[in-house]
Amino acid sequence: MKAAGWATVLFAARLLDADEREAVLGDLEEVGETSWRGLIDIFGLIARRQAGHWKNWRPWLAAFGLALPCSFALMGFSLSVSRSYLDLIGPTIFNATGITVGYGFFLLLCNLLLLGAWSWTGGFVIGSLSRRTLWVSAALSFLPCLFCLARFSIDSLSRLSLLLFLPPAILGVRRGLRIAEIKLSAAIALTVGITLLTIPTWNSSGPWIPNWALSWPAWYLLATALRSGTTA
């Protein structure tokens, strides 16, 4: 194979597992396959592997039941928290008049914690369910972000306020990829915490369906922790 072609084949083969990459590249080298034919073979294998992952329900749930809808909802919630912050704390700090701690501040704190907890649990469940299809879930999360960033037109807020949910979500994904489920005590604490934090929003006139939709990853974590606790 020509050097440039072979380099392309080697690059494409990085998408395969280490052992499989070793065996496939060795096979290609042994039969003296052309780089074009080798690329087709490698992409064919990658496509089959990816298709195989989607035979399971988990990637579907992670991508279309969680990543896509929750990124929309979390962006809305990020914006809401940013607005609350601006209304409540921003002017007081800028005017150097100090922070007045009242119910509004308490609500903002609850919402901030809730945003972090929802984002982290959502990210964790996406990471643990997606695994090798994570790139699809990530793409489906970023598509709404790009759409909303492009249409963002609030002068008093930065576009980045839409993406407040991303750092905890990314941390959750990283953790979810490393450990598939959390300990029962942690799952209980998270679920109870999230449920308690949503209490102040029960009386508000805001939409309650997204609230519960964003809470289900915590309940899922609790269910999986309970199940593994009983089967262990």
Partner 1 sequence: MKLGEFEYLLITAAARLADGAYGAAIREEIEAATGRKCSIGALYTTLDRLEAKKLLKTWMGNATPQRGGRAKRVVRVTSKGALAAKDFYDAIMRVSRGTTWAVGQTKGAT
Nearer to partner 1, 25 or 189 (CB): 25
Judged by CB under 8 A, the stretch of 24-32, 135-143, 165-173, 199-207 that binds partner 1 is 24-32
Please say whether the beta carbons of 126 and 67 come within 8 A.
yes
Binding to partner 1 (CB under 8 A) within 57-96 occurs at none
* Contact present, 162 and 75 (Cβ < 8 Å): yes
Judge whether 78 and 163 are in contact, CB under 8 Å: yes
Any contact of residue 45 with partner 1 (CB under 8 A)?
yes
Select the residue interacting with partner 1 from 7, 11, 20, 156 (CB under 8 A).
Answer: 20
Quick one: which of 2, 7, 11, 23 contacts partner 1 (CB under 8 A)?
Answer: 23
Other CB atoms within a 10 A radius of the CB of residue 23 amount to 12
Give the C-alpha separation, 201 to 211, whole Å. 9
Minimum CB separation from partner 1 for residue 19, in Å? Answer: 6
> Interface with partner 1 includes 36 (CB under 8 A)?
no
Choose the binding region for partner 1 from 20-28, 70-78, 144-152, 159-167 (rule: CB under 8 A): 20-28
Q: Identify residues 127-186 at the interface with partner 1 (CB under 8 A).
A: none
Span of 19-27, 122-130, 172-180, 218-226 interacting with partner 1 by CB under 8 A: 19-27
> Would you count residue 3 as binding partner 1 (CB under 8 A)?
no
Cα–Cα dist 194/99, whole Å: 26
The counts of H helices and E strands in the chain are 11, 0
State the minimum distance, in angstroms, from the CB of residue 13 to partner 1. 11
Return d(Cα 83, Cα 226) in angstroms, integer: 38
HEC sequence for 73-141: HHHHHHHHHHHHHHHHCHHHHHCCCCCCCCHHHHHHHHHHHHHHHHHHHHHHHHHHHHHHHHHHHHHHH
Q: Binder to partner 1 among 3, 4, 14, 19 (CB under 8 A)?
A: 19
Q: How far is the CB of 46 from partner 1 (least distance, A)?
A: 8
Q: For binding to partner 1 (CB under 8 A), which residues are involved? A: 19-20, 22-31, 41-42, 44-49, 52
